Amino acid sequence: GRQETVSALPHLGSFQSMRSEFPLIGIFGGTFDPIHYGHLRVAEEIAETISLRELRFVPAGVPRLRCAPAASLQHRAAIVRIAIRGNSRFVLDEREVRRHGVSYSVESLRELRREMRERAILCFVIGADAFMKLAEWHSWRELFGLCHFIIVARPGYALASNLPQELEEECAQRWVSSADSLKYTSSGLVFIAPTTLLDISATTIRAHIAAGKSVRYLMPDEALDYIAANHLYSGEG
């Protein structure tokens, strides 16, 4: 089992002396091509479990490590906006839309840290499939100095038991088993959030739409209306 190792982190604990509680802000990055109930439900459960003040969805521009998204960043961001409407804790963060070009999460997190003037604790929400590949990301080790990681399980991806060695070593002293630990340190912890397993992927949604099949109940109706109105994913638009 994982051990509670907060106290074993010498370079952390910058908030520990203050004992004050800074708000936790969730950051959920992704291509969101398109956003679906897998993302939305997990986001809702995490917001509740770790008492997030807000959760920011950050649609990525051109990801460096995967093929180009099917829909433009503007469309993907518009679908996120529609999908999160009515949830007062969910926010669309368009910084990667404005930045253009290749998206690096580390840049967004650096910016967010600056904007929050250290008065918030950033929690980066990431699926187990994506976390497994973290060591391929640009400046990945720096991320541990900027945010905590909130890992969500995903059907078909066994986590942690078989992390790549580099990542396993980096995380060795960082695992925490209680969401409460996240409040007392500014960054650098890794928490596996208990969430409902939903086997929904954007890939399946795109394939269904292209094949003229229904994707109803896999994502919000209003978001589907937007996709239909703009002929996205149909192979025509």
Nearer to ligand ATP, 45 or 107 (CB): 45
Bridge partners of 52, per DSSP, are: 24
> Taking Cα atoms as reference points, which of 38, 22, 83, 29 lies closest to residue 57?
29
Rounded (5°) CA angle 155-52-220: 55
Please tell me whether residue 181 binds ligand ATP under the rule CB under 6 A. Answer: no
> Taking Cα atoms as reference points, which of 191, 170, 151 lies closest to residue 28?
151
Near ligand ATP in 109-148, by CB under 6 A: 126-127, 129-130
Two tokens, residue 212: 């003229």
Considering only 14-22, 105-113, 133-141, 195-203, which stretch makes contact with ligand ATP by CB under 6 A? 195-203
Q: Which of 142, 178, 203, 237 lies at the binding interface for ligand ATP (CB under 6 A)?
A: 203
Answer whether the bond into residue 63 is a cis peptide, omega within 30°. Answer: no
Nearer to ligand ATP, 12 or 39 (CB): 39
Q: From the CB of 222, what's the least distance to ligand ATP, in Å?
A: 19
Nearer to ligand ATP, 83 or 130 (CB): 130
Binding residues for ligand ATP, rule CB under 6 A, total 18
Please tell me whether residue 174 binds ligand ATP under the rule CB under 6 A. Answer: no
In sequence order, the 6+-apart residues with CB closer than 8 A to the CB of 106 are 137, 138, 139, 140, 142, 143, 146
- What's the rounded Cα separation, in Å, for the pair 174 and 172? 6
Q: From the CB of 193, what's the least distance to ligand ATP, in Å?
A: 10
- Residue 14, CB half-sphere, CA atoms under 13 Å: how many? 13
Q: From the CB of 22, what's the least distance to ligand ATP, in Å?
A: 24
Q: x/- binding map, residues 39-58, to ligand ATP, per CB under 6 A?
A: x--x----------------
Q: Which of 26, 31, 144, 220 lies at the binding interface for ligand ATP (CB under 6 A)?
A: 31
Q: Indicate the SS3 state at residue 127.
A: strand
Binding site for ligand ATP (CB under 6 A): 30-33, 38-39, 42, 126-127, 129-130, 152, 154, 198, 200-203
